[in-house]
């Protein structure tokens, strides 16, 4: 393989898991309270990835209402066994750990099977012959501090979706007094079972660690070269941070690779959140070695910027696979596509709530971008529509057209750490119902542009990040409409979204 072009998935694609099936590779990531849940990508060469579907789409699969944005669907694992795909994950706010299955990775996926007595987060599955094992994480029985966890395994009866026989504790991590040993994956290679985990929490101290045993239930020997990969020793100013939560795959030529999450930083913050990276793996003395000869993921010019990519999101029914909504998928009564335009019915749910607003977004994929959208909208009193740059319900920007005291107004409203501030407000006396709205960012600074005119420039968006606001997600951006009237039938009409990553 040529040099890997990292990140292989740009934007909020954290906690990756990967498997091979029929000479192709399939990769999934976590989605928290975004819907649809768990995008699934396909590749024939491990370099070029195409989204082919979403694992969780229905209300039974995806129960996220009343959850804050960094809750919901945590890390998932994908495995392929006897012509069937399995995805197991955690709904952190609704029911805990469950799995779904499909014979076609594009779907449809089955209804969820929730597991009883399966505490913890970030589960995995391991197949050995006719047996399936649940690999989990949980707090130790005598936990001495928050994050004092252990990895355990128990046989899973797939015929009825129940854990059977006795659970076995395998490992509690490589580092002394480690926090959050999690994201376990179990593999069998030659004479050994290998247990790979994340440690240190999913921020600067994140790392990849591994142990092995000749018996499934242990005892497990920690690798003396742990961590296999981390960037915590490179300092807070290194542009690539948070490396951890890895999964291994062997390609059809017998070469090995690992996918993991990481974050591209600018001055200690990232709008994109945690993204998916890949590194080569070799084996020495029956241990995996990540990034042999380097010990870190190389930071190349193309790693840090989009290198002139122009992306056009054309509206379709169903919506393009890259589109996301909050907590549930908006049905056809709320959004429709006619002649290439999106008709978005104004919703009564606000962005700061924990329901489903009329918002359709895409992931922010670079520190620098321009998002441009034509909009047709005639608001009534108490109605608004436009563009949104969204981190969570307490941190976002609305660039909108609204009607106030019978006057059409262009407004920019910033909410930061729950405090809402109107940073621009102007009567749109030339507005006749049509406008081109544009968000333009340069690192942690944003311009809002109305028909080619900058209304407000250099808006500080540095706090609209995990590092500024807490949580686990990255930013999204997209189109939005709101009304304070329950019986409103008004729509905002949006043309294609054009995103430029210079």
The radius of gyration computed from the CA coordinates of the chain, to the nearest angstrom, equals 23
**C-alpha distances out from residue 149 to 67, 96, 120, 173, Å:** 25, 17, 9, 8
Fill in the DSSP letter of residue 234: G
The CA distance from 241 to 239, in Å, is: 6
Per-residue pLDDT at 94 exceeds 80: yes
442 labelled catalytic: no
Query: Could you give the C-alpha distances from 362 to 12, 147, 193, 321, in angstroms and in order?
Result: 10, 32, 39, 10
CB 33 within 8 A of CB 92: no
- pLDDT of 502 reads 87
What does the alpha-carbon distance between residue 481 and residue 148 come to, in Å, rounded to a whole number?
Answer: 44
Return the residue matching tokens 């050995």: 128
* Cβ atoms within 10 Å, residue 286: 12
pLDDT of 231 strictly over 90: yes
Q: Is the pLDDT of residue 1 over 70?
A: no
Which percentage of the chain shows pLDDT scores above 70?
A: 99
Residue 265 contacts by C-beta under 8 Å, 6 or more apart in sequence?
238, 239, 240, 241
Bond preceding residue 266 cis, omega within 30 of 0: no
Pull the structure tokens for residue 323: 């589109």
Please give the pLDDT value at position 309.
87
Q: Is 15 a catalytic residue?
A: yes
For the segment 414-470, what is each residue's pLDDT rounded down to a tens digit? 999 999 999 999 999 888 899 999 999 999 999 999 999 999 999 999 999 999 999
User: What is residue 433's three-state secondary structure?
Assistant: coil
Please say whether the beta carbons of 42 and 24 come within 8 A.
Answer: yes
Q: Which pLDDT belongs to residue 308?
A: 80
The three-state secondary structure class of 468 is helix
CATH topology for 309-501? Jelly Rolls (2.60.120)
- Does 193 score more than 80 pLDDT? yes
Q: What is the pLDDT of residue 413?
A: 98
Q: Quick check: helix, strand or coil at residue 302?
A: helix
Query: Contact at 8 Å (CB) between 398 and 412?
Result: yes
Per-residue pLDDT tens digits for 117-174: 999 999 999 999 999 999 999 999 999 999 999 999 999 999 999 999 999 999 999 9
Is 3.30.70.3270 the CATH number for 17-304?
no
Given phi > 0 = left and psi -120 to 50 = alpha, else beta, which region is 336? beta
CA distance 103 to 86: 9
Residue 492 has pLDDT above 80, yes or no: yes
Whole-angstrom CA distances from 502 to 388, 440, 441, 499 are 21, 11, 11, 10
Which residues share a beta bridge with 179? none
- Map out the domains of the chain as residue ranges: 17-304, 309-501
Tell me the per-residue pLDDT of 150-165, one tens digit each, with 9 for 90 and over: 999 999 999 999 999 9
Helix (H, G, I), strand (E, B) or coil at 303: helix
Q: Which of 57, 122, 150, 182 is catalytic?
A: 182
The 10s digit of each residue's pLDDT in 246-296 is: 999 999 999 999 999 999 999 999 999 999 999 999 999 999 999 999 999
Model pTM greater than 0.75? Answer: yes
Burial letters 129-150, b for 16+ CB under 10 A, else e: eeebbbbbbbeeeeeeeebbbb
């Amino acid at each position: 393989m040529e040099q890997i072009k990292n990140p292989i998935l740009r934007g909020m694609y954290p906690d990756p898991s990967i498997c091979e099936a029929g000479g192709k590779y399939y990769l999934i990531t976590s989605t928290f309270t975004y819907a649809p849940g768990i995008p699934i990508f396909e590749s024939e060469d491990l370099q070029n990835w195409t989204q082919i579907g979403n694992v969780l789409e229905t209300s039974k699969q995806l129960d996220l209402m009343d959850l804050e944005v960094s809750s919901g669907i945590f890390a998932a694992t994908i495995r392929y066994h006897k012509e069937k795909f399995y995805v197991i994950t955690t709904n952190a706010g609704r029911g805990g750990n469950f799995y779904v299955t499909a014979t076609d990775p594009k779907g449809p996926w089955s209804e969820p099977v929730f597991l009883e007595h399966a505490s913890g987060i970030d589960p995995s599955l391991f197949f050995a012959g006719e047996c399936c094992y649940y690999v989990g994480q949980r707090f130790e029985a005598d936990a001495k501090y928050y994050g004092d966890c252990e990895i355990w395994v128990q046989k899973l009866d797939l015929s009825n979706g129940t854990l059977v026989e006795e659970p076995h504790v395998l490992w509690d991590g490589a580092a002394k007094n480690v926090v959050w040993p999690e994201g376990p994956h179990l593999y069998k290679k030659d004479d050994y079972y290998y247990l790979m985990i994340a440690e240190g929490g999913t921020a600067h101290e994140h790392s990849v660690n591994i142990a092995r045993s000749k018996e499934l239930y242990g005892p497990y020997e920690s690798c003396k070269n742990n961590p296999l990969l981390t960037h915590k020793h490179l300092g807070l100013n290194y542009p690539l941070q948070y490396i951890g939560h890895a999964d291994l795959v062997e390609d059809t030529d017998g070469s090995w690779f690992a996918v993991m999450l990481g974050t591209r930083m600018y001055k200690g913050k990232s709008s994109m959140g945690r993204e998916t990276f890949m590194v080569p793996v070799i084996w020495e003395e029956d241990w995996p070695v990540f990034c042999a000869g380097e010990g870190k993921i190389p930071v190349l010019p193309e790693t840090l910027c989009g290198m002139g990519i122009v992306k056009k999101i054309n509206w379709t029914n169903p919506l393009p696979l890259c589109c996301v909504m909050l907590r549930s998928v908006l049905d056809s009564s709320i959004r429709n596509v006619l002649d290439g335009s999106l008709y978005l019915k104004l919703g009564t749910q606000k962005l700061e709530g924990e329901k489903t607003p009329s918002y359709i977004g895409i992931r922010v994929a670079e520190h620098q971008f321009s998002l441009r959208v034509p909009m047709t909208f005639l608001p009534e009193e108490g109605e608004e529509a436009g563009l949104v740059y969204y981190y969570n319900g307490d941190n976002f920007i609305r660039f909108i057209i609204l009607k106030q005291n019978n006057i059409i107004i262009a407004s920019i409203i910033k909410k930061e750490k729950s405090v809402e501030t109107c940073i621009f407000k102007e009567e749109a006396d030339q507005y006749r119902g049509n406008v081109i709205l544009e968000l333009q960012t340069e690192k942690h600074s944003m311009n809002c542009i109305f028909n080619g005119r900058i209304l407000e420039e250099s808006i500080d968006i540095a706090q609209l990040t995990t590092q500024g606001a807490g949580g686990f997600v990255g930013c999204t951006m997209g189109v939005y409409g709101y009304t304070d009237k329950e019986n409103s039938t008004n729509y905002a009409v949006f043309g294609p979204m054009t995103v430029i990553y210079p």
